[in-house]
Structures are given as C-alpha cells and as structure tokens.
Amino acid sequence: MAYGVAQPPISADYEDGWSQVATPTGSFRLRRPIHVQMQEEDGVWSHWCEEIGVLGTGTTSADSICSFGEEFLATWDGLAGEEDSKLTGDARSLKRLLLDLVEAIE
C-alpha cells in the first residue's frame, strides 16, 4: 500500500561553474570556474562549493547566493593576508587555493 510519494529536494549542479562570486562589497573574478551545487529542501536553499568549503543558505535562492558570497568573502578575509606561520596546514592549503583561484577583486 502506498502512503504517498516522497519528493526529492530540488537539486542541480551549475554545469558551467561560477567564474565570479558577488559579495556585499563587490565581487571576486576567478581564474577558473568553481563548481557550486544548489539544493532546496523544506524551504531552505543551500549553495556550496566543496573545493573551498564555502556554504551559503537562505529562504530563497537569491538569499542563499548572497550568503555564499558573504561566506566566500569571510574565508578570503580570514586567510589571504594571514601569515602562513599562524595558519594550520589545512588553512595554508586553502589559502594557496584561494590565492591561485582569485584573479581580481572588483
């Protein structure tokens, strides 16, 4: 007996990736696209990039994208200018990844 059909969350990958990340203060232009996944489940939208460990959430897709930009900026601000000696090995690796990834801040 069927009690209903489970509905999977709306989920899609951005096949072409993001070559720019908008933030509240401007945007980051990237040397190569990043793979950002999106999901909506129970009214909560998520955008995330596993490669750089950035997650944004919101009640709309637009809010989630804005949150992603804020988190990307916070990650950049926390790592890009920091001395390597003050960072863990993982943080140094992420810093190098970000420095190689970001072409310009506009």
Q: How much is the pLDDT for 97?
A: 97
pLDDT tens, 3-31?
A: 333 333 334 444 458 999 999 889 999 99
Evaluate whether 102 touches 81 at the Cβ level (below 8 Å): no
pTM, rounded to two decimals: 0.83
Angle between helix 89-101 and 61-79 (nearest 10): 110
Other residues' Cβ atoms within 10 Å of the Cβ of residue 69: 22
Q: Where are the domains of the chain?
A: 10-105
